[in-house]
Amino acid sequence: MFVHTSHAPASPAFPHTHPDLTGLLTQCRPSAVTLYNVDSVVYAQGDAAGPLYLIAFGAVRLCRLTSDGRRQISGFVLPGEIFGFEARGEHHFYAECLDATGIRVLRPSGDASASTLNLALETLTRAQEHLLVLGRRTVVERMAAFLVDLAQRQGDEKSVVLAMQRNDIADYLGMTVETVSRVIGKLKAMRMIRLRTTREIELLNPSGLMALSE
Amino acid sequence: MFVHTSHAPASPAFPHTHPDLTGLLTQCRPSAVTLYNVDSVVYAQGDAAGPLYLIAFGAVRLCRLTSDGRRQISGFVLPGEIFGFEARGEHHFYAECLDATGIRVLRPSGDASASTLNLALETLTRAQEHLLVLGRRTVVERMAAFLVDLAQRQGDEKSVVLAMQRNDIADYLGMTVETVSRVIGKLKAMRMIRLRTTREIELLNPSGLMALSE
DNA sequence: CGACCTGTTGATTCTGCTCAATCAACGTGG
DNA sequence: CCACGTTGATTGAGCAGAATCAACAGGTCG
């Protein structure tokens, strides 16, 4: 499961750190960064919820399996972002690492609930935005929205590093891997993007992508 | 906009009142029930957020318009449920009444933030469940999930009263009105449901519907 | 009554899925 | 070093499902 644990000071500097996050960090006792391997499980569906998880590096996917064996990914979590919010003290999704990932566990005290609420609301907003994406008609629009969102969260307007593979993108956007490939190909043909590698995408026309995803 | 305002004692008895809701109610000064007409707007996209809204009767849809004029409904809110949670102090969706609707405004004080957090997490869970529904492949599955969800929230296993029209269901489930009609027809042919009226649906085979929706 | 709105049904089009093959990158062992 | 297996990504052909376009039915309200 976990590989190694290291203690480190509590304030990572990420491009888009949420103000309430630093507030929450100062209210929690400094916690260790735990290292997880690829595909290792941070928590399982049905596990007791409570602590929150801050990603130091790497990335995480939040998933649910349906009874017919398919998987829906409700979200990806990137460095500097928090996950683990759940209602009724139980995880309704499970969390897996996309990569070798460093995670800091936060145990909010009672007086941190204001910060906690704000961060939970951020998570809610993310879910609602994802919901809008899935509501779109065409796969091209969904993919465009996905790329624009990732670019913004990574703080680079013009390029995206995909921490996840086509498989994961498909389950996140509600399409198949083949369609993911084809759509990326189509966006390439439209001169919207360029593939440096399969994992690095250059956004040639960010505003055009935003118009598509809108 | 609003029709009439009446003062009333603070504890409505709904079948599925959340425990944190009663907690929150006792911590807020009793507030009036405001009556809204059909299609009237509770708050607009971009409005300042802050207060929460508890539905006494009627129903509300939460929507976002896309630039191409389409509408995505992120959720419906039924009597006894709360809406109005937003990150960053601003509404990213707008709220409209499906019907003549009575709404109680709640202004949580600082010491109510624990209850508030829990209710916000309930909203998050609802969004995530909706996300799973939209991720399903077939429209029949989506419709089945929708009906089962509504039945559970209305506290009646075997029948559903649709507060919304086909139009709204379509925008909620990411399909067209025509498809909504056809899918309902198909579920009828499968002996899963029966239409008492266009707005009242009897669930003939709840467990079958749940199996469909997984 | 006629105009309008909501809901249903029919015909056709087309998007995206399924099933498959192919390709590229990588590691292993002979 | 190369043959081989594996995994991830791309591409192709055919098909099913849902959208689109269009007509029509029933109800309500002026």
Residues in contact with B85: Cβ distance below 8 Å, sequence separation at least 6, in sequence order: A121, A124, B49, B52, B119, B120, B123
Residue owning tokens 């939970």? A120
- Asked if the Cβ of residue A167 lies within 7 A of any atom of strand D, the reply is yes
- Does residue A182 surpass a pLDDT of 80? yes
Q: What is the mean pLDDT of residues A52-67?
A: 94
pLDDT for the residue numbered A14: 60
Locus of tokens 């990914």: A73
pLDDT in tens, A34-46: 999 999 999 999 9
List the alpha helices (DSSP H) in A28-176. Answer: 113-135, 139-154, 166-173
Report, as an integer, the average pLDDT of A97-122: 89
Q: Which residues touch strand C (CB under 7 A)?
A: A 137-140, 174-176, 178-179; B 137, 165-167, 177-178, 180-182, 184-185, 195, 198-199
**Shortest CA to C1' contact from B176: nucleotide:** D19
Sign of CA pseudo-dihedral B53, B83, B173, B148: negative
For position A31, what pLDDT does the model report?
A: 82
Check whether A162 has a pLDDT greater than 50.
Answer: yes
**Nearest-nucleotide field for A165 (CA, C1'):** D8
Q: Which residues of B touch A67 (CB under 8 A)?
A: 214
Task: Check residue A41 and give its pLDDT.
Answer: 96
Instruction: Using a 7 Å CB cutoff, list residues 133-162 of A near strand D.
Output: 137
Query: pLDDT for B63-78, tens place per residue?
Result: 999 878 889 999 999 9
Q: Taking CB atoms and an 8 Å limit, are B131 and A93 in contact across chains?
A: no
DSSP H or E stretch at residue A99: none
CA atoms of A112 and B93, how far apart (whole Å): 27
Of A121, A128, A214, the CB nearest to B120: A121
Name, in order, each residue with C-beta under 8 angstroms of B69's C-beta and a sequence gap of 6 or more: none
Quick one: pLDDT at residue A108? 84
Token digits for A104?
């800091």
Chain B nearest-CA distance from A57, in A, is 25
Does the distance separating the beta carbons of A116 and B87 come in below 8 Å? Answer: no
Q: A112 pLDDT exceeds 80? A: no
Residues A155-163 have a mean pLDDT of: 93
Q: Between chains, do B123 and A124 touch, taking CB under 8 Å as contact? A: yes
CA distances in angstroms from B149 to A69, B60, B152, B160, listed in the order given? 21, 16, 5, 10
Sequential DSSP letters for B167-211: HHHHHHHTS-HHHHHHHHHHHHHTTSEEESSSSEEEES-HHHHHH
Q: Nearest CB to A135: which of B86, B87, B134? A: B134
For A103, left (φ over 0), alpha (ψ -120 to 50), or beta?
beta
Q: pLDDT below 50 — which residues of chain B?
A: 1-4, 6-13
A105/A54 Cα distance (integer angstroms): 6
State the distance between the two ends of chain B, measured CA to CA, in whole angstroms. 40
| Residue contact A121–B85, C-beta within 8 A | yes
- List bases in chain D with any atom under 7 Å of a protein Cβ: 8-13, 17-22
Counting Cβ atoms within 10 Å, is residue B207 exposed (0-12), middle (13-18) or buried (19+)?
A: exposed
B68 versus A88: the higher-pLDDT residue is A88
State phi, psi for A109 to the nearest 5 degrees: -85, 170
Chain B interface, mutation test: which of A117, A119, A133, A171, most B Cβ atoms within 10 Å? A117
Question: How high does pLDDT run on average in chain A?
Answer: 89
Query: Is residue B100 within 8 Å of residue B42, measured between CB atoms?
Result: no
